[in-house]
Amino acid sequence: MRNASAFRSLRAPHSELDMRAGIIGLPQAGKTSLFKILTHSHLATGFGSHEAHLGVVRVPDRRLDELARLFKPEKTTHAAIEFLDVPAISKENLREASYLANLRNVDALLHVVRAYGADPAPARDIADIDLELILSDLGQAEKRIEKLERDLRKAKDAELEHEFQVLGKARRHLESEKPLRDLELDSAEKKRVRGFMFLSEKPMLYVLNAGDEDAPSLEQLRQRYQLGGRPHTEVAAVCGQIESEIAELPEGEAAEYMAGYGLKESGLERLMGATYHLMGFISFFTVSEKECRAGTLTRGQTALEAAAAVHTDFAKHFIRAEVVQWDDLLRAGSLAAARDRGLLRLEGKEYQVQDGQVVYIRHSG
């Protein structure tokens, strides 16, 4: 855990991150409360803070824990997501180069929306913040377009022409006050746009921060405010106040409090589920006496990509992948036993890894 000025560039303390996410929202929406729920850190909330916070969260996974009980490895490594809590979004902040740079560097945004207290208006708050992101992107796109126009007047260049054409599309979309995350592009165009790290292009998790009275019915908030159905977005809810306090308690006490409030799972588990769903992430596992580890892929990624995620050499010298569903392996008791029972399947480079599979890479390296 580190504190850092919001206006300095924050760098990841760990190189092995599965994802980076930025927490944004209006003043007092509950951003720091959410950060505490995620990172179990002890921070003061409610001071109109000008500090940014950076924390790495180990993604809880019962499947990995059970595999680790079987293999008793020296090391168990959960997936890791870095969260960045920045001061409230405002026109001023969005003009700060370092504030922008921090947000541009994340893979997804979590927008904390006030759904507690008097007259909550999540749809309005979401529209306001989305508009700020859109205007910031528009400024950025226009600046680049002007430069491209100057350069293209001097010399023709196919690459620059393509960039010019894609940015024109993006600008028209932004001018109609729509976020880039719902602009349809082909894969070459998408790659171009991604290079600019536009804020409104990032997948977005809307996190409704509800009052205590909504604790037993958090799943219903999404319907109440009708926030579903937007492309590349997902909706989750927390009770910021109580859940950030519960996050500071020892595990046994936490369970008791959660039950008392009618909370069915921890805020961390709920938010991780929504984040994985938003990103289209699946988990695969690698197991040995040395290390049991959760790896992250997006749905549709292959055995070769899993190998590369474990070790670049494994991908280079890839022969075959042996795959087995985590609970089949657990019941068999060992990889050898699973192999004997025909539970291990031999797959090639192009095989699409499924959520919950243990992947054993055979390589010639």
Ligand X SMILES: Nc1nc2c(ncn2[C@@H]2O[C@H](COP(=O)(O)OP(=O)(O)OP(=O)(O)O)[C@@H](O)[C@H]2O)c(=O)[nH]1
Residue 240 partner contact from Mg ion, ligand X, none using kind-dependent CB cut-offs of 5 to 8 Å: ligand X
Stretch 335-364 residues interacting with ligand X (CB under 6 A): none
Query: Residue 50 or 194: which CB sits closer to ligand X?
Result: 50
Could you tell me the two tokens for 287? Answer: 């197991």
Q: How far apart are the C-alpha atoms of 88 and 29, rounded to whole Å?
A: 9
Beta strands in the chain (DSSP E): 2-5, 19-25, 51-58, 75-77, 80-85, 108-115, 204-210, 233-238, 281-286, 291-298, 318-325, 345-347, 357-363
Contact with ligand X (CB under 6 A): which of 77, 98, 241, 325? 241
Only segment of 26-34, 140-148, 190-198, 224-232 that touches Mg ion (CB under 5 A) = 26-34
Tokens 């760098």 label which residue? 11
**Which conformational region is residue 323 in: left (phi greater than 0), alpha (psi within -120 to 50 degrees), or beta?**
beta
Which region, judged by CB under 6 A, interacts with ligand X, from 5-13, 40-48, 61-69, 135-143? 40-48
Tokens of 164: 């010019």
**Measured from the CB atom, is 32 or 41 closer to Mg ion?**
32
The residue from 67, 68, 239, 292 that contacts ligand X (CB under 6 A) is 239
267-279 vs 31-39: helix crossing angle, rounded to 10 = 100
Output the smallest distance, CB 22 to Mg ion, in A. Answer: 13
Q: Which does 48 bind (CB under 5 to 8 A by kind): ligand X, Mg ion, none?
A: ligand X
31 touching Mg ion, by CB under 5 A: yes
Q: Which two tokens stand for residue 190?
A: 């998408």
The tokens 């209006």 sit on which residue?
A: 26
Q: Contact letters (x/-) for ligand X, 208-227, by CB under 6 A?
A: -x-x----------------
The overall longest dimension of the chain from CA atoms, in Å, is 70
Q: Does 32 bind ligand X (CB under 6 A)?
A: yes
User: In this complex, which beta carbon is closest to Mg ion, that of residue 50 or of residue 69?
Assistant: 50
32, 102, 233, 244: which one binds Mg ion (CB under 5 A): 32
Q: Residues with Cβ < 8 Å from 11, sequence gap 6 or more?
A: none
Residues 6+ apart with CB under 8 A from 272: 57, 59, 60, 81
Name the residue with the smallest CB distance to Mg ion. Answer: 32
As a whole number of angstroms, the distance between CA 206 and CA 110 comes to 6
- Stretch of residues binding ligand X (CB under 6 A), selected from 11-19, 21-29, 102-110, 218-226: 21-29
What is the number of alpha carbons within 13 Å of residue 130 lying toward its C-beta? 23
Report the residue closest to ligand X, judged by CB. Answer: 46
Q: Which of 49, 140, 286, 296 binds Mg ion (CB under 5 A)?
A: 49
Q: Scanning residues 47 to 76, which ones bind ligand X (CB under 6 A)?
A: 48-49
Segment contacting Mg ion by CB under 5 A, of 41-49, 143-151, 174-182, 311-319:
41-49
- The rounded distance, in Å, linking the Cα atoms of 28 and 51 is 14
Nearer to Mg ion, 35 or 276 (CB): 35
Residues binding ligand X (CB under 6 A): 25, 27-33, 45-46, 48-49, 87-88, 116-117, 209, 211, 239-241
Residues binding Mg ion (CB under 5 A): 31-32, 49
